Structure 1
Amino acid sequence: MEQQSLESNDCIEDIINRYSNMVYRLAFAQMRNKTDADDIFQEVFMRYLKKKPEFQSEEHGKAWFLRVTVNCSKKFWAAAWRKRAEVLEESVIFESEQERELSYELKKLPVKYRVVIHLFYYEDLSIEKISQILKRKPSTVRTQLTRGRRMLKEILEEEYHV
């Protein structure tokens, strides 16, 4: 009995280590600040620990964590108290100045475009996979990706006078 419990704890730790960076990046992209991203991160893994889903594949696990992160972020933004709160600007440490600047510019996009761009470029997911995770039609995801890119290009051109 003790051995089985230890093995399941090791498995939980492996799962958390495997998906933690991905969940945090998406939570930060959605929330735009470290404190709220930490809350979302914690909520996602608490849900994992409560439900203990079994994944058929690596892709299934990745999709589950991305979907739960998106759902927790939506729930957070929809909270009544949140509508009256002010967001403090924070950032995470990036490897390069260019990554930091791009993250700052991405924050200017509406959430629906920001999440699609994040999943496509940072998580390297296909439009089909993004549509499944976000429960949107592939055509909607393509449109949001196109509009998000266009908006980001306009922001960058305006900011850097390109």
Structure 2
Amino acid sequence: MQQSISQKSNQVMSIYETYADTLFRIAMVHLGRREDAEEATQDTFIKFMEKAPAFHDAEHQKAWLIRVTTNHCKSLLRRGWRKREVKLEASELVITNDPEDQALIELVLSLPVKYRSVVHLYYYEDYAVRDISKILEISESAVKMRLQRGRQLLKLELEGEEQP
């Protein structure tokens, strides 16, 4: 019995080490505050330990964790106290030495959350449109439209910055 608890603990720690950073970044994209993102990530792993779901493979496991994180973020955003505007701490999400990359990251983070989440999953987490559709529980055409509109907003911002 003791060994099985130890093995389960090691398994959870391994999964945590593998996915915690990704889940935290996704939560930051949705919530915009470090404390809320940490809470969402922690709650995701608590739910993982409570439910102990069986997965087909590592991709299924990762998709499940991302879906739980995304759903938890949505429920946090629906709470009344979260309806106020929140400043996004972009430098905490991704740090880069290249000023152009940092400026682009900050532009992505300034997008409305529905565009920001699909852009982040597509470009930073390398998910396909079909996978994003399943994770966010929206249609593939909605993912494509949000990507297109997010790109348009980024293009407008980038063109606006280039004007003297």
Tell me the TM-score normalized by structure 1: 0.91
Superposition pairs of residues 105-116 of structure 1, within 5 angstroms: 105-116=107-118
Q: Which runs of 5+ in 1 are unaligned?
A: none
Q: Which residue of 2 aligns with 1:43?
A: 43
Amino acid at match of 1:129: D
- Aligned counterpart, 2:18: 18
In the superposition, relative to structure 1, how do residues 99 and 68 fare at CA in structure 2: closer, same or farther (>3 Å)?
farther
CA distance in structure 2 between the partners assigned to 1:65 and 1:159 by the alignment: 37
Q: Sort the Cα spacing of 1:70 and 1:40 in 2 relative to 1 into closer, same or farther, 3 A.
A: same
CA deviation map 1:46-95 (0-9, x unaligned): 211221222210110111011111101111111011124x5244231503
Which residue of the other structure, out of 149, 152, 160, is the alignment partner of 2:151? Answer: 149
Question: Post-superposition, which runs of at least 4 consecutive aligned residues in structure 1 deviate over 6 A?
Answer: none
Partner residue in 1 for 2:86: 87
Within 5 Å, which residues of 2 pair with 1:97-108?
97-108=99-110
Q: Which moved more, 1:98-107 or 1:52-61?
A: 98-107
Work out the CA distance in 2 between the residues paired with 1:66 and 1:116. Answer: 12
- AA of the residue aligned to 2:95: F
Q: How many residues are paired up?
A: 161
Q: 1:123 to 1:75 in 2, by over 3 A?
A: same
Q: Percent identity?
A: 37
Residues 121-147 of structure 1: per-residue CA shift (max 9 Å, x gap):
111111011111111111111111111
Report the residue type matching 1:33 in the other structure: R
1:100 Cα deviation from its structure 2 partner: 2.7
Deviates more, 1:69-78 or 1:29-38: 29-38
Q: State the 1:25 CA deviation.
A: 1.1
For the aligned residue pairs, the C-alpha RMSD in angstroms reads 1.7
Give the Cα–Cα distance (whole angstroms) in 2 for the partners of residues 82 and 37 of structure 1. 13
